[in-house]
Amino acid sequence: MDESAGDAATGESVADAPVAEDDALAAPTGATTSADKAGPAGGGKKQRPFWKEVPLLVVAAIVMAVIIKTFFVQAFFIPSQSMQNTLQPGDRVLVDKLSPWFGATPQRGQVIVFQDPGGWLNGEDLPAPSSNSVERDFQSVLSTIGLMPSANDQDLIKRVIAVGGDTVVCKSGSPVSVDGVALSEPYIYPGATPCNDYPVGTVTVPKGDLWVMGDHRNDSADSRYQRLYNSAGGGFVPLKDVVGRAFVVAWPVSHWSVLSVPSTFHQSGLSAAALPAAADSAALVLPLSLWYVRRRRNRR
């Protein structure tokens, strides 16, 4: 499996808070300050001790983490070699789960995480669960709140090669072509062949589906493999099964990189996908920008 696959804090500037003059400094010698007048029963709100605040902060942080994992960003773990060299076994990627809520759909060249459409995991490596029960329970808790990838997610990760309505040609000894445009694929694993292992010929992707491939073509049970050896689904990934788009390798630090769309998918014959891709980014950025502007106005 490519993924058992398992994903923010905000603060206020002290500069936004009004600064009050210190009564003790402002009052003349011998004068009674407002603090003295107020006394212990001056009506001021008594601050909780720090040790009482900590549990509330922890609960708030957990709630925020669950919300972020559910609706915004989730971390996923890469257990297999099928996306090398773009992704290495053990990498953690962050997946954008917000864009689909605004109608954005995956575009050619994007790396996506999706739920098993049916029988795909039989041809993929699955992560081995820990033999330590305490470690398994700890991982389960952290994965629930989105701080660690889950070891039980039935998800995969591949690159989108074609979208609904596209015609893919995948023949032995030839590059992959989409709608008649041959793809130069510098991202595939060194020495791997585009289609030699599973030459499926000519395939038209139905509307509402995707055609996906692993970057390590000789070690990926992707759409080609599924079409030849899995009788269900024809090798297509329904849009409803897409979890989100992987946009960055977050861990380990030495592997950090942005998962951008390769230039081969920006060729003129495939330019129709460029506008939806831009809309995808806008769907993520625009709502957050509007929220921020509205929040700033309300505070004035």
d(CA 54, CA 168): 56
The answer to whether the beta carbons of residues 106 and 242 sit under 8 Å apart is: yes
| Greatest distance between any 2 Cα atoms in the chain | 96
Active-site hit among 158, 177, 220, 223: 158
d(CA 229, CA 12): 56
Active site residue 223: no
d(CA 134, CA 151): 14
Please list, residue by residue across 284-299, b when 16 or more beta carbons sit within 10 angstroms of its beta carbon and e when fewer do: beeeeeeeeeeeeeee
d(CA 57, CA 248): 29
Active site residue 158: yes
Sequence-distant (6+) residues with CB within 8 A of 282 are none
Active-site hit among 4, 80, 82, 223: 82
The answer to whether the beta carbons of residues 149 and 77 sit under 8 Å apart is: yes
Positions marked catalytic: 82, 158
